[in-house]
Every structure is written in C-alpha cells, then in structure tokens.
Amino acid sequence: MKILVLNGSPKKKSDTYRLTDAFLKGLNKNGEHEVHVVNVIEKKIAPCRGCFGCWSRMDGHCVIDDDQNEILDLYRDSDVIIWSFPLYCYGMPSHLKAVLDRTIPLVKMKMVQLPDGTVRHEALADFSRLHTVVICGCGFPNWEGNFDGLKKTCENCFGNPDIICVPEAPMLNIPEAAIVADPLLARFEKAGEEYAGTLTLSAETIAGLETPMIPAEAYIQNVNSAL
C-alpha cells in the first residue's frame, strides 16, 4: 500500500506531526507499506490562477511549472493520503490550502449530480481505492466552534474521510506534559494499527483521540500564566 503524507506544518518541531508520526508507526508497524512524506512548506507551490488550463490539457497536471505536479503524481498513485496540519484561522495553513486548490487537474469540468442532490466535478481517473485521513491539531482547549468549518471543507473535498481534530496540541511538545501527552500518542499509534486492518476508524476510536488531555479551565490557566 502506498501512503502519501502531506505535512502542512510550517515548523519542523510540530505538535500535530507528532500525532501523525505516531499514527504512521501503528499503520506501518510491520514495515510493509511505502510511505512518502511531503513537507509542503519546503516546496514551491504557487496559488491557483483560475486559468483552467489544466482542463484544456486534461493530462492530470497543472500548467504552472512548480512542485505541485510532483505532488499530483504522488496523489494519483497513492492508496492512502494523510493531510496533517495545525489549525490556522479555523482552516488549513495557506501553503497547504494552495496544494488543495491546485488538485483541480485531477477532475474534469464535466459536472455530475450525486444521489443526495449535491453537484461535483467528475474525477479524471478512478479514485475509488483512495482513502483519506485528516489529522489536525489546535491550540484551543476544546472542539466546539473550532473545527466545524474545517470538517465541512474536508467532507466536501474528500468525500468520506476519517477526520481527527485534536485540541490542546501544544502540550505535545512540553516536557512537563508528557504524563498526559504520551498516552495520547500511544492511542494514536494504536489507531494506526486499527486503520491498517480496516482502512477506517471507529467513532469510539476517534472520540478517544479527540478527548482533551486536561480540563479546559486548567489548560487556559496554564497558557495564560505563561504570557
């Protein structure tokens, strides 16, 4: 199985990527899968121009000559894609959003209406084998009101992805918080093992991954006291 990880963190020491790395350890526990990690911040990816030149050529590539076309090739060849990133203004960081915007070459201009009435562009190729996981960390202490917009975007863009949204993510890089952070990392590794077997995560597993490490009041007090 080929796994593509799109790491959207702009920092090398990333809270969110610690979660993703733990998930990958479980997912590829036996070393049988091919894992390709793209650190998006290191790539040259321009914003989409909205020129629709890709729909004229229909070769699965963008007319802009930068690193995006390499990512598109990896995307088409993957069985699992993991979008890993910190929450920025209730969405993806801009450099990763540019990658998403420029996946337009993977669909056609032709539109199709789904049974539920929604309208989508027809895919350029058969992506039925493709599975998507979204792992997003957040600096706020809770889920409510913070991840809702992102979840809707991911559902619309990726179909039926497994979405894991984790509050209090900065605690993952605080040594004093290891007593609560390490068990969460262990749960992520266990979730990766579960995903390897079924290519999906149970609602119970996701709920366990998204549970805050400490009460919101304590987290807010710790953050504010550090200011």
pLDDT of residue 198: 94
Q: In whole numbers, what is the pLDDT of the chain averaged over residues?
A: 94
* pTM for the model: 0.95
CA distance 215 to 227: 19
Report d(CA 128, CA 105) in Å as an integer: 17
Helix residue ranges per DSSP H, the chain:
15-27, 53-57, 68-76, 94-101, 148-158, 178-198, 203-210, 216-225
- Residue 99's pLDDT is 98
Beta bridge partners of 83: 6, 134
pLDDT in tens, 42-100: 999 999 999 999 999 999 999 999 999 999 999 999 999 999 999 999 999 999 999 99
Q: Is the per-residue pLDDT at 12 higher than 80? A: no
- Whether 127 shows a pLDDT value over 90: the answer reads no
CA end-to-end distance (rounded Å), the chain:
45
pLDDT over threshold 90, residue 132: yes
Question: What domains are defined for the chain?
Answer: 2-225 (3.40.50.360)
Whether the CB-CB separation of 133 and 83 falls below 8 Å is answered with: yes
Q: Is 80 exceeded by the pLDDT of residue 183? A: yes
Tokens matching residue 192 = 């990766």
pLDDT tens, residue by residue, 97-114: 999 999 999 999 999 998
- How high is the pLDDT of residue 222? 87
The band of 143, judged by pLDDT with boundaries at 50, 70 and 90, is confident
